[in-house]
Structure formats: C-alpha cells, structure tokens
Amino acid sequence: MTDTDTLDAPARPAADMPDGQALAALIAGKLCHDFISPAGAISSGLDLLKDPSAQDMRDDAMGLIEASAAKMVALVAFARVAFGAATTSETFSGGELGGIVDALTGGGRASLVWKVPDQTWSKAQSRALVNLAYLTMAALPSGGIATVSSRVEDGMVVFEGLAEGTRARLKPEAIAGLAGQPLTEGLQGQWIQPYWLWLTAHDAGGNLTVQAEEGRVILTVTIPA
C-alpha cells in the first residue's frame, strides 16, 4: 500500500479461494502454530523440575510454567470466540471481549485502548470484534496505541480499530486477506486471520474497509446490529 490508501474489500471471494475443508486446515494450522510455543515451554519447565541436576533452577522453571500456562489459557479463550462457535454463550459482553483481547496481547509493545460499551454482542459481532482488535494490535510491531471502538450508524454496528505508531503497517499477506483476495505468495499463517475477519464480516451481511498511511492503520468492520 502507498503512504495513504483506502482498501475496499470485494463483495464476493475469488473463485480460487479455499473451500471449507482447506479453510479449516489453514485455521487449524494457525492454531497449532500459536499453541506450540507455550505448550513447548510448559514441557521444558516440567523437564527442569524433574532434572535432579537442575534443582537450583526450580523457581525459574515454575515461573516459565506459570507464564506459559497463562498464555495457553489466553490463546484458548481467544480462539473459542475468534474462530469457533463451540461455546455455551450465545452472546458476549463488551467487557468480557476486551478482557479476552487484553489477556492475549497484554505485555507486548503496543497498548490497547478499549472503547467498546459493556453491552451484549452476538457471536458474529463478537467474532468480528476480537479479530479486528487482534489485527489492530498486530499492525504495531514496534509499539504504539491500538484504539478499538464501536458505534451504531443506520442500523449497523461499526467496529473500528485504529493503530497509531511510528511503524504502523500491514504485511502484504494481511492486506490480501483483508481484501478477501487469495494468497499468491507469502506465509499462509499471516494471511488466514485477516481473511477470516473479511469472511466473518461478509457472511454476516457486513463489510470491511482498510485505510493505511504513514504511522496509522484503520480497520473498520460494518456489521448488522
């Protein structure tokens, strides 16, 4: 994208987009990639606890296990809303969704400012919101402020993610996914979640737009109220 660009996603996916089975495989692959790091760290911590020669590292091992377990719980909580429908709740509160995103992204270089009312949101709205929030944070690899907000316009809910930072940017794979375009080159793991957000918005009867300029990225999802 150039210094100032607005990206309007197409209304329909291209004919060579992944079918249901391929889409499920891509999402499963992303989840496995996300889970493997904290799971491996927990395993390493347990190995240290069992090693008689490493008892002086017991406190470090426990700290590693605790931090990795918290990360795993945050990933699972996020994934249940962002990618799945296998939850007992039909709706989610704004505060609950903000907590899910903050638990996953907190401690990084970017700071999250959550300006979403603590009201109930449907599964489709919740899925769009947490994915948008996560991708807004991801647009700030060197730090900055990610502001996530909502408003109602003409019977539609508008979710906006504003990323502001010195190196705010979107990767080429993310740009393709957010536009509902197939991935021609690059990493599928960097493409699938942006595409999933696009698909979530359009399947719900809404749309997704992206604006990017130097130090600023805005993701906007419009979805039925």
- Mean pLDDT computed over every residue of the chain: 90
Whose CA is closest to 76, among 104, 105, 107, 37? 104
**Residue 116: pLDDT above 50?**
yes
Cα–Cα dist 58/179, whole Å: 49
Whose CA is closest to 218, among 112, 115, 139? 139
Backbone angles phi, psi at 220, to 5 degrees: -130, 125
Query: What's residue 91's pLDDT?
Result: 84
Who wins on pLDDT, 64 or 1?
64
Using a cut of 0.95, tell me whether the model's pTM lies above it.
no
Whose CA is closest to 138, among 158, 160, 108? 108
Question: What tens digit of pLDDT does each residue of 157-176 get?
Answer: 999 999 999 999 999 999 99
Query: What's residue 3's pLDDT?
Result: 47
149: which strand partners?
115, 160
Query: What's residue 150's pLDDT?
Result: 97
Question: What tens digit of pLDDT does each residue of 137-159 get?
Answer: 999 999 999 999 999 999 999 99
**Residue 87: pLDDT above 90?**
no
Cα–Cα dist 197/191, whole Å: 10
Query: What's residue 20's pLDDT?
Result: 86
Who wins on pLDDT, 36 or 18?
36
Q: Which of 38-42, 82-86, 108-112 has the lowest mean pLDDT?
A: 82-86
pLDDT (average), residues 185-208: 94
Query: What's residue 17's pLDDT?
Result: 77
Contact 182, 149 (CB under 8 A): no
Q: For the sheet containing 5-8, what is the strand order?
A: 5-8, 207-213, 216-224, 156-164, 144-153, 110-115
Contact 159, 129 (CB under 8 A): yes
Who wins on pLDDT, 46 or 12?
46
